[in-house]
A and B are shown apart, each in its own frame.
Chain A
């Protein structure tokens, strides 16, 4: 069975602090995809990153970085020098690639509040 756990329900930081959002996943498949989405107060889901199970390279995009470690089944997300606009709910998600059209399974999300 597949499962995504985001143990941090809420995180509060002050602007310019670095913050890491944890994501641990479970799957029996060897081929799978991991995702992070951002949901700002407006409600839409904003795609941040997709990573397949064969690519363990860490990725950096501006102030965002992702650390994928298969050994610990984790796909953590770090925001460097956080800003108020980063305040949102962040979801980690898993999709197994056994067949086309596999649904995304989401974690329960981490609410990040960045204060000025």
Chain B
């Protein structure tokens, strides 16, 4: 069925470690997006994929952040050398403006 699955739902990591967040857009839309929501803040756009390529990486906050998508489906957001300011909920979405967007439940990342 339709939907976006994200894993893990919660992740606690030590400062300086790398983390990988996974997004599985079950319904298979070609467009996939990553957003970050820091505590009490709105949703900040990070990166967009069309198929396996990322035409828009403008929102990635630093070179510690990277993302890839394989097979036009699963996407992984990697944060290297995590910092405390990386603590946030990371949301994945699929869709297009004329069809609408479906969001996953997010991964809550806590860097201690």
Footprint of B on A, CB under 8 Å? Answer: 32-33, 35, 37, 43-45, 47, 50, 52, 91, 93, 95-97, 100-109
Contact = CB atoms under 8 A, between A and B. Distances in A.
15 contacts: A37-B103, A43-B89, A45-B91, A45-B103, A47-B102, A93-B43, A95-B97, A100-B30, A100-B96, A101-B96, A104-B33, A104-B43, A104-B97, A106-B45, A109-B42
Nearest to A45: B103
A52 B97 CA distance: 9
Contacts of B55: 101
Contact of A100 (B31, B56, B89, B100): B31
Contact of B42 (A44, A52, A97, A108): A108
B98 A101 contact: no
Given A33-B98, A109-B42, A43 B106 contact: yes
A44 B98 CA distance: 22
Given A44-B105, A103-B33, 14 more contacts: A35-B100, A35-B101, A47-B100, A95-B97, A97-B97, A97-B98, A100-B96, A101-B50, A102-B97, A104-B43, A104-B45, A104-B97, A105-B45, A106-B42
Interface string B49-67: 1100001100100000000
B100 A108 contact: no
B70 interface: no
B50 A108 contact: no
Given A106-B43, A107-B42, A100 B103 contact: no
Nearest to A107: B42
Contact of A33 (B45, B93, B97): B97
Given A91-B42, A108-B41, A101 B31 contact: yes
